[in-house]
Structure formats: C-alpha cells, structure tokens
C-alpha cells in the first residue's frame, strides 16, 4: 500500500478486506489455545503477552493513518541513536528531555516532508498568538494544513 501510495481511507478499506479476516482467525486461535500451553512455555508466554494487548495490536486495521509497524519511525531516529551516549552530558535532565523533544519534532518534520527550519521559524512566530486549544496546528503532522489557514 505504501508503494501504491494509497491514501488513509483506501488503506482502511484494504485492511478491512484483507487483514480483518486474518486478525479474526488469529484472535480466535489465541483464545482457543490460551489454556492449552503451560504458562511458562514459549507459546504460553507469547499468548499471555498478546491477548491483553490485542486491541492495540490490531488497531491498525481500523485506522489507515496508523502503520502496521514502526519501521518508518525506526529509520527516522536511527541516526540519532549514536547521540544517545552523549545525552548524559546535556547539562541537566531537563536539557536532555528538550533535546529528545527536538529530535522527535525533527523526525516528524522529516516524515511529513517539511523543511525543519521553515517549520521552527513559523512556530516561533505564531506560538504566542495561538490559544492553547489551537496549539495542535503547530504539530508537524498538522502544520501544512493550518499554516496558510489558521483557525483562531
């Protein structure tokens, strides 16, 4: 679906058509076999791990905007992993948290094909004039939509 560049509505429809039957069969199998395996066995542990998380694990099928995996994010933050050994030298815990937040925004800009400098400049120029309930407009995932037509 990525290669076909389907929009999120199309992805939702495709997932409902193809993934839903597989997910239904898997959930049924997990429930049927929950007590067939010893809790300490590998399969028992896998089932016990999966069932309480089922809603979250299968949620991607209901929302085409969600990815089935975190590969895109992993690839976006991989270059930052080398910096992790330097975070203890950020000066303070708060500085390290701010650095992590900026890396997150940078990765979000990259994912949304946004020029990071343009985004940050616009955020600094507009943030004081926005009400708290409208700050979502400045998130990289919403920025293009609200940049030219802000809701205030």
The answer on 94 and 129 residing in a single domain is no
List of the chain residues with pLDDT < 70: 76-77, 79-87, 150-152
Q: Decide: residue 129, CB within 10 A, 0-12 exposed, 13-18 middle, 19+ buried.
A: exposed
Between CA 119 and CA 144 the distance in angstroms is 9
Q: What pTM does this model have?
A: 0.53
Rounded CA-CA distance 53/48 in Å is 9
Q: Please enumerate in sequence order all residues whose Cβ is within 8 A of that of 92, keeping only pairs 6 or more positions apart, or say none.
A: none
pLDDT of residue 79: 65
Domain that holds residue 102: 69-111
Question: Domain for residue 2, yes or no?
Answer: no
Buried b (16+ CB within 10 A) or exposed e, 94-107: eebeebeeeeebbb
Measure the CA–CA gap between 72 and 105, rounded to whole angstroms.
14
pLDDT at 25: 97
pLDDT score, position 18: 95
Closest CA to 27 of 56, 4, 6: 56
Q: Are both 46 and 75 inside the same structural domain? A: no
Tell whether 103 and 133 lie within a shared domain.
no
Domain identity same for 132 and 98:
no
Residues 143/134, Cβ–Cβ less than 8 Å: no
pLDDT at 66: 87
């Amino acid at each position: 679906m990525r290669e076909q560049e389907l929009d999120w509505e199309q992805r939702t429809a495709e997932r409902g058509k193809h993934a839903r039957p597989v997910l239904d069969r898997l959930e049924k199998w997990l429930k049927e076999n929950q007590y067939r395996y010893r809790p300490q066995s590998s399969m028992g542990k896998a089932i016990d791990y999966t069932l309480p998380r089922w809603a979250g694990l299968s949620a991607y099928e209901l929302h085409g905007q969600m990815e089935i995996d975190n590969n895109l994010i992993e690839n976006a933050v991989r270059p930052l992993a080398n910096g992790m050994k330097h975070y203890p030298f950020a000066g303070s815990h708060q500085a390290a948290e701010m650095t992590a937040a900026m890396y997150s925004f940078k990765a979000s800009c990259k994912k949304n094909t946004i020029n990071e400098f343009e985004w940050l400049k616009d955020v600094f120029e507009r943030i004081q004039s926005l009400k708290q309930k409208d700050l979502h407009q400045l998130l990289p995932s919403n920025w293009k939509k609200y940049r030219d037509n802000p809701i205030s």
